[in-house]
Amino acid sequence: MAKYNGTTSVIVDTLYPKVAKLLDSNWNKVKKVFEKFFQDNNSQIYDIAPFDNIYFRKSDIMNLMNAVGITEEEVIDIMKDCFFWNIPYNPQAAKEPYVLVCICIIKYHMIKKKEKEAEMSAVYLSFSGKFYASIFSGVAFPKAPPSKHREVMEYVVNNMLNNKFILKEKGTMFGAIQALVQTWLEYYKSDIIGKQTDEEIGKMIQQLRDRIKSFLMNIARQYNKAYQEKLYLNYESQNENQDEFRLTDNDSARAARYTEMSVNYITTHSVDLQICQRCRDENITATELKSIMDSILGNKDNLDDIYRVINILIADFIRYYPDKEVGSVDFIAHSIKAKPNSKDKYILEMKDIITKWLMDNSVNYRRRRNRPATDASYRRAVLLYFTLTICKAVNN
């Protein structure tokens, strides 16, 4: 039993090396488990508020452990030398095998400086049973989920949450939890990469759970207030005098949810060559487009612009066709329709972003862009790739 500062370090010394070795060959399997969990629960994860719980089943745990290549029994056998394993200890989540495996997965990616993969792993952990699920039903909404009184929660989101609430700022549950995870990872970055004791890892797990609990409880307090005072009965529809790009509250929430779904999909999947085939024409090949998209999506400095382009595409369609579905044939037709003389500031902003990407990532484009047909082909190909990928994300 290894000891540091008077306590054990079994997780770092024994469990982590075993999990890390397995991840060298099994990470893609684990990633697919995460993606499937997000897809299976997309209606709750990408909703505008915590309307319903996210059920984390025994099958979810088994899927994860099988993908990693380790059993719960093996983890328990390793952890028997941990000082807190056989005594009452908070957080209880620190004694859950799948939680400890997730912590090892996060550590694995942080050491390799793969922040995106570490973040995905931490978001998955945050939505799991010992975190979001147990807090939702056990503490935040013990009597009934807000979906039973959806109009109350909608009132809360539209009228009682200001930008100090992370949910209001980010627009969806996924965005809010992702932001919490990013802050947590940044705060504990040096600790995660370093040699933590079991006690330090226990405290780090407690911190993540506390942040999620605080997030949900802040919303629950507003929800309970609105319900008790019947504030939702005074809810009025959106003012019709709206500016150029203003959407109704419901449409804005829908656009935000689809944007989060699409950004998450496009940044966690490899560039799809089949989609590139559908985007090619006489001026740009599928392989060249794939190379361009690999460069754009592989540069984390582009993330804000990726989010912006996807959001403009979705919001622009919804404002013109609020009754039609994002991801439909109508969405594709509207999104790739030529708008050469548009004065819309958002369309112009999107065009500028795509042009900058092409200038930064395509030698052929820089050489041939003075030819109008070539310029249009390259920009249309990138735009169509994003459009078709949005369709894939939303329809999944």
Q: What is the pLDDT of residues 359-395, one digit of tens each?
A: 999 999 999 888 888 999 999 999 999 999 999 999 8
Out of 179, 203, 234, pick the residue that ends a domain. Answer: 234
In this structure, are 254 and 137 located in the same domain?
Answer: no
Out of 200, 234, 268, pick the residue that ends a domain. Answer: 234
Largest distance between two CA atoms of the chain:
73
In this structure, are 189 and 309 located in the same domain?
Answer: no
In this structure, are 217 and 304 located in the same domain?
Answer: no
In this structure, are 282 and 156 located in the same domain?
Answer: no
Its domain, for residue 81, covers: 3-234
Please check whether residue 60 lies inside any domain of the structure: yes
Please check whether residue 242 lies inside any domain of the structure: no
Does residue 70 contact residue 105 with C-beta atoms inside 8 Å? no
In this structure, are 9 and 156 located in the same domain?
Answer: yes
Look up residue 223 and give its amino acid: Y
In this structure, are 9 and 98 located in the same domain?
Answer: yes
pLDDT, tens digit, 9 for 90 and up, residues 124-169: 999 999 999 999 999 999 989 998 888 888 889 888 888 788 998 8
Does residue 216 contact residue 135 with C-beta atoms inside 8 Å? yes
Look up residue 81 and give its amino acid: D
Q: Assess whether pLDDT exceeds 90 at residue 12.
A: yes
In this structure, are 225 and 266 located in the same domain?
Answer: no
Please check whether residue 332 lies inside any domain of the structure: yes
In this structure, are 172 and 262 located in the same domain?
Answer: no
Please check whether residue 240 lies inside any domain of the structure: no
Please check whether residue 244 lies inside any domain of the structure: no
Out of 175, 205, 234, pick the residue that ends a domain. Answer: 234
In this structure, are 221 and 265 located in the same domain?
Answer: no
In this structure, are 264 and 314 located in the same domain?
Answer: yes
Buried/exposed code over 174-188 (b: 16+ C-beta within 10 A; e: otherwise): bbbbbebbeebbeeb
In this structure, are 267 and 381 located in the same domain?
Answer: yes
Number of domains present in the structure of the chain = 2
Q: Give the integer Cα–Cα distance in Å for 35 and 27.
A: 12
Confirm whether pTM is higher than 0.85. no
Please check whether residue 254 lies inside any domain of the structure: yes
- Which is higher by pLDDT, 329 or 204? 204
Please check whether residue 164 lies inside any domain of the structure: yes
pLDDT, tens digit, 9 for 90 and up, residues 242-288: 344 555 657 777 888 888 889 989 988 899 999 999 999 889 999 99
Please check whether residue 241 lies inside any domain of the structure: no
Peptide bond into 91 cis (omega under 30): yes
In this structure, are 69 and 173 located in the same domain?
Answer: yes
